[in-house]
Chains A and B, each alone.
Chain A
Amino acid sequence: MNFEPKNFINISKELKNGKTEAHYRSIINRAYYGVFGHIRKHLPIYVTDGSVHQEVISYLKRSTDLNEKKIARRLESLFKKRKDADYKYNFEIKSSSCDFAIYEAESIIKKFNEKDDYL
């Protein structure tokens, strides 16, 4: 059995049926992990200690390919949104931020898949 992490994005979409802020925060969390997991799965990254998030983003940042650098930046931005959604309770998350997170996650995956070096 080989799990496809990008299926987490489907969970994000299902969570859109919920209308509480807890749903909104969870939508952003799952959207991030969907795209992060998809990319991680296709990169030659093995982390024994330290942050695997940092390793994935740094790997793409170090690339000489401009598209991969841009993917790194957009993934980093979604990482920040996920952290804010998980830990910052002093500002309100709106449903539009959830639509944006899902759209962004799918868009990053699409861009990553365009380059078939890793697939």
Chain B
Amino acid sequence: MINNTLTLAEHYDIPSNIQDYTPEENITVESLCLEESIDALDYLRSVELRRIKIKNDLGEYFNFENESSELEYLENNSELIDILPSIAQYIKNNFDHNAKLTLELLNESVDWQTLFINIYSCTNWEKTNYFVDIFLENMYELYPFIAEKINLNVIPDEF
């Protein structure tokens, strides 16, 4: 019997001391599920941390209409995060210093998603046309890639 075992061990390149060989010991269905759960938790935690950072970066300038939608969009279009504070300043300096700004995702389909900057303003609606026109012109000239992803929605005479 011992001789047979040794012969098999040589033939299949496994340890000769068969009692010490427990290759399956650490890999169980339960342990695999646990690892997957830990990976999933790590992923969720990193998503959560990224979203907290976006909120911190933009919270000073904007409120969010439906937080999770806008944050997800911003996560996937992170180039917007750096420029949105400058856009907020531009709106305040050139349109209405007291305007309340919010972000809202228009999500009509996978191919039609636009991040709207809602501008709640006390400014008369007749003045908005000129401002929006100049804003769009500047955006398309300076940041055409960004201009494709955002839009303005002025809500006039709001206060």
Q: Do A and B belong to a common assembly?
A: yes
- State which of B53-61, B79-87, B90-98, B149-157 sits at the interface with chain A: B149-157
Q: How far is the CA of A57 from the CA of B155 in the complex (A)?
A: 21
User: What 0/1 readout, one digit per residue, does chain A (47-80) give for beta carbons within 8 Å of chain B?
Assistant: 0001101100110010000100110011011001
Q: Report how many residues on chain B are interfacial, defined by Cβ distance under 8 Å.
A: 26
Name A69's closest neighbour in chain B (CB-CB): B140
The answer to whether the Cβ of A94 comes within 8 Å of any Cβ in the partner chain is: yes
Q: Which residues of A contact B116 (CB under 8 A)?
A: 77, 80
Q: How far is the CA of A66 from the CA of B154 in the complex (A)?
A: 21
- State which of A3-11, A32-40, A96-104 sits at the interface with chain B: A96-104
Name A53's closest neighbour in chain B (CB-CB): B108
Q: How far is the CA of A77 from the CA of B158 in the complex (A)?
A: 17
Q: Which residues of B contact A53 (CB under 8 A)?
A: 108
The answer to whether the Cβ of A81 comes within 8 Å of any Cβ in the partner chain is: yes
Name A81's closest neighbour in chain B (CB-CB): B153
Q: With A51-B109, A54-B112, A70-B137 in contact, do A80 and B153 touch (Cβ < 8 Å)?
A: yes
When the two chains form their complex, are residues B112 and A77 in contact, meaning their CB atoms are under 8 A apart? no
Q: List 25 A-B contacts (CB under 8 A).
A: A51-B109, A53-B108, A54-B109, A54-B112, A57-B112, A58-B111, A58-B112, A61-B148, A73-B136, A73-B151, A74-B132, A76-B151, A80-B116, A80-B151, A80-B153, A81-B153, A94-B157, A94-B158, A96-B125, A96-B156, A97-B125, A97-B156, A97-B157, A103-B126, A103-B129
